[in-house]
Amino acid sequence: MHLGSLALKGEGGKLTNRGFVIDDQGEVRARYDKIHLFDVDLPTGESWRESAMYQAGKEAVMVAGTPVGNLGLTICYDLRFPELFQRLSDAGAEVIAVPAAFTVPTGRAHWQVLMRARAIEAELFIVAAAQAGQHEDGRQTYGHSLVADPWGELLLEMGGEPGLAFAEIDLARIADVRSRIPVHQHRRPIPRLAS
């Protein structure tokens, strides 16, 4: 079972945004600390500094042999870094979990298209559980939890309200898609930029 992510005490007085995978015996099979922290100054004057409170993770994590297949772990803003998804795919991930808390404006604009893009690029399943609704601090998160297959088709998309839903994942779909568009076989090292 993937537990989303929790804010836990880290090193040096900072927190870490950590996801867990726990097996059917209650044992922690994997831990993943969010690598990419969201720091931004918006034109509205609003400022977000995850790095002020959180320390960044240092390792990509893939868990082999879970009931849903080989599971890659990411958290929220990691979604905007396709190289992480490619690294997990190259390591054998068949499904990548993306627990998230996107704001409503960024969710409306980017949530679905980025999830589908990561599924298509890495040619695997994306399972994205997303916080939805109004929070006590006034934030409103977008929700729209979804499951995307390797072709980019949505097997599930929830709305903006909290809820529970299920989708069936057929891992054979990965080989089918990869046989149609064999990007994993065609990938080449990127040469240096000419000046």
CATH of the domain at 150: 3.60.110.10
Structural domain contains residue 191: no
Q: What is the mean pLDDT of residues 128-150?
A: 93
The answer to whether 10 touches 88, Cβ cutoff 8 Å, is: no
Structural domain contains residue 189: no
Structural domain contains residue 42: yes
Residue 179 CB partners (closer than 8 Å, separation 6+): none
pLDDT of residue 83: 97
Greater confidence (71 vs 11) lies with 71
The answer to whether 51 touches 13, Cβ cutoff 8 Å, is: no
Q: Which of 157, 91, 24 is nearest to 2 (CA)?
A: 24
The answer to whether 153 touches 176, Cβ cutoff 8 Å, is: no
Query: pLDDT tens digits, residue range 30-53?
Result: 999 999 999 999 898 888 899 999
Beta strand ranges found along 36-153 (DSSP E) = 39-41, 47-49, 61-66, 69-73, 95-97, 125-128, 132-134, 140-142, 146-148
Q: What is the pTM of this model?
A: 0.94
Residue 103 CB partners (closer than 8 Å, separation 6+): 139, 140, 141, 142
Q: Average pLDDT over the chain, rounded to whole? A: 95
Q: Is the pLDDT of residue 137 over 90?
A: no
Distance (Å, whole) CA 80 – CA 191: 23
Model confidence band, residue 194 (pLDDT cutoffs 50, 70, 90)? confident
Structural domain contains residue 26: yes
pLDDT of residue 151: 98
Query: pLDDT tens digits, residue range 142-181?
Result: 999 999 999 999 999 999 999 999 999 999 999 999 999 9
pLDDT of residue 195: 82
Q: Is the pLDDT of residue 1 over 90?
A: no
Structural domain contains residue 190: no
Structural domain contains residue 192: no
Residue 145 CB partners (closer than 8 Å, separation 6+): 128, 129, 130, 132, 156, 157, 158, 165
Structural domain contains residue 119: yes
Number of domains in the chain: 1
DSSP, residue by residue, 134-153: E-TTS-EEE---EEE-TTS-
Distance (Å, whole) CA 132 – CA 116: 19
